Amino acid sequence: MSEASTIRSTVLAEEHARLGATFTDFGGWRMPVRYSSDLAEHRAVRTAAGLFDLSHMGEVRVEGPQAGAALDHALVGRLSRVAVGRARYSLLCAEDGGILDDLITYRLAEDRFLVVPNAANTATAVAALTERAAGFDAAVTDESAETALLAVQGPAAAAIMTSLVPEEQREAVTALRYYAAAPATVGGSAALVARTGYTGEDGFEVFVPTAAAPALWAALLAAGEGHGLVPAGLAARDSLRLEAGMPLYGHELTRATTPYGAGLGGVVALDKEDFVGRAALEAARAAHEAGEGRRLVGLRGAGRRAARAQQPVVVGEDVVGEVTSGAPSPTLGYPVALAYVDAAHAGVGSAVDVDVRGTRQPFEVVELPFYRRPR
């Protein structure tokens, strides 16, 4: 079998092509990278709304009397304490503490959870969750092929969504808190509506059966016409999440990183009795608190040239870190980057340079996120 034949497309591939999308291979999927321009799509999400196809993401159901306990064992967080209708960001770690994936888990009922891993890591997550749930009265089911995921992000997202929801459900949708979810009918399709996203804006992610996705995509585009909504691709999604300081698996998070260096120690519940990777993560926390290793930081450029992934961070003659993501910020008007930097140079206000193709460019360590939406 050729490599090209293993690339998958979402159920909306024909819709993207009809809209003139440029495609790229991402996580084993052929996905729209842009429709018009990266900048226009980015700005639409910040000022109005953008519509994203996220149907490449995984959807894994964990259910049974001990589903919460199984997830407590499998993930670094305490998922058994999540209230029904709420969601939690967590990490799937290996026994040595390395990050296998970052994911969101929704509690749909007392004994039923929906875990959403990254597209490229879905098979890894399903295998790990299945193995780790083996000693519990819980079943793991991969529902990725039967589920599509669309996201509406931006200041106009709530108005667009509620225009497609029956009147008796509108209050429940608009009242959803951040990281909460509820069933609703959207554009005539039964859906799970979650107030989550990856852009730093208000917005909703909508889970529907795969067969319902084309009609819902069309309905959302039509409902958004008067609100400035545009379809948006992966390029805008990446620049939006970078401004919001959100990590991307394969860049900020990898099998070689631990939660503490990535600034995610707060999601690790070391007070749990036992979970996969606990001993290694205790050691990683101790090393981090002792000043060992590198820290993930935000960098603001003083010049016009942007840093890019894998470029070295330098102080004097020493390489003290490496950029993981970088780009000009369309919203802020200056270059921003995420980088792992030695602890001695990771403090806010520290001055560093990035070697941008042989030329040193000045940057300053700043607090994350770079951008916060107006309240």
333's tokens: 């008007």
Local structure of 374: helix, strand or coil: coil
| DSSP assignment letter at 279 | H
* One-letter amino acid for residue 350 of the chain: S
Question: In this structure, what are the phi and psi dihedrals at residue 28, rounded to the nearest 5 degrees?
Answer: 85, 10
What residue type is assigned to position 150 of the chain?
Answer: L
Instruction: Determine the Cα angle at 283 with ends 277 and 287, to 5°.
Output: 135
Distance from C-alpha of 306 to C-alpha of 327, rounded to nearest angstrom: 5
Written as one string, the DSSP assignment of 195-240 is ---SSSS-EEEEEEEGGGHHHHHHHHHHHHGGGTEEE--HHHHHHH
Q: How far apart are CA 78 and CA 98, in angstroms?
A: 18
Residues in the chain: 375
**Contact status, residue 191 vs residue 183, Cβ threshold 8 Å:** yes
Alpha-carbon distance of 352 to 248, in angstroms, equals 23
CB 350 within 8 A of CB 364: yes
205 is in an annotated binding site: yes
CB 323 within 8 A of CB 317: no
Closest CA to 77 of 268, 350, 216: 268
Q: How many CA atoms lie within 13 A of 335 on its CB side?
A: 25
For 142, the enclosing helix (H) or strand (E) is: strand 139-142
Neighbours of 178 (CB within 10 A): 12
State the binding site for substrate. Answer: 205
State the binding site. Answer: 205
